Amino acid sequence: MPAPTTAALTIRVTNDYADGDTFTHVLEVNVPIPADDADLTEWAMSALFPYTGEGPDYSYMDAIYSVQIIKAPNDFDYILGLSVSAMG
């Protein structure tokens, strides 16, 4: 059986907008597994950051976007708790 290329993770996404609105979502996602030599911050930005944001109603507003892995399969416990944030 070939090795899996994706992993099912549970992530917490927090979108904090300049107007004071804050949204938190817990999402089940299936994302590409990071390569053994991957920079995990870069991987998280690429694989997980697309789940941030509240859509076009907030696209014009400055915000801080955060993602944290809160559940991962046993084989990927090394990424459990990984978090990234960025302003946009």
What is the mean pLDDT of the segment spanning 68-83? Answer: 94
As a residue count, the chain comes to: 88
pLDDT of 14-71, one tens digit each? 999 999 999 999 999 999 999 989 999 999 999 999 999 999 999 999 999 999 999 9
| 23 vs 88 pLDDT, higher one | 23
Rg (CA), the chain: 14
**Confidence (pTM):** 0.92
Q: Which residue is associated with the tokens 């708790």?
A: 81
| Helical ranges in 1-88 per DSSP H | 40-47
Instruction: Give the contacts of 14 (CB within 8 A, at least 6 positions apart).
Output: 22, 23, 24, 65, 66, 67
Tell me the pLDDT band of 1, cut-offs 50, 70 and 90. confident
